[in-house]
Amino acid sequence: METIEEVMERMMERCGASGAAIIRIDDGEIVYLQNLSKLPINVVSIACQAAVEMFRGKLMNDMLNTVKRFRRGTEGPTILESIRFTFSNAFHWVTVVKERYLLVLVAPKAGMSPGYVETLFRSFLPRIAVLLE
């Protein structure tokens, strides 16, 4: 059976990523972290904490509920599942896995389209979800 480390390393290789992390949403603990960039580990840790706060924060939930009021035909709670950030030199994806974890991927802008990288990234989500049980 594959380990979480093997799957994450394979995902990073396929996506051309410079970093990836799995973070528990409830307490912000970093379950897995691979940093191939030149950023210091404390900067990466702060970025992981910011991702958790964004998904867990009151402001984000208020925004989602406000938007939902204007969307007809939507039932149940609106849950943010994924965000993609575009910076001048990199793309960042933050995705909820199993409603308890955030998976963060950082990939430099290096010739692959963000849509292609996101497709590769998402193809690993089922395997990662199984390993987080």
Q: Supply the CATH number for residue 80's domain.
A: 3.30.450.190
CB atoms within 10 A of CB 93: 21
The domain total for the chain is: 1
* pLDDT for residue 72: 64
What's the pLDDT tens digit per position in 35-91? 888 888 888 888 888 888 877 777 777 777 777 677 666 665 556 678 888 888 888
pLDDT of residue 103 exceeding 60, the answer is yes
Q: How confident is the model at residue 31 (pLDDT cuts 50, 70, 90)?
A: very high
pLDDT of residue 101 exceeding 70, the answer is yes
> What is the SS3 assignment for 34?
strand
Q: Which residue has the higher pLDDT, 56 or 125?
A: 125
* pLDDT for residue 14: 92
CB atoms within 10 A of CB 102: 24
Residue of 98, 101, 97, 100 lying closest to 121 (CA atoms) = 97
Q: Where are the beta strands (DSSP E) in 8-76?
A: 19-24, 30-35
Full residue range of the structural domain in which residue 25 is found: 4-131
* pLDDT for residue 121: 92
What rounded mean pLDDT belongs to the chain?
A: 84
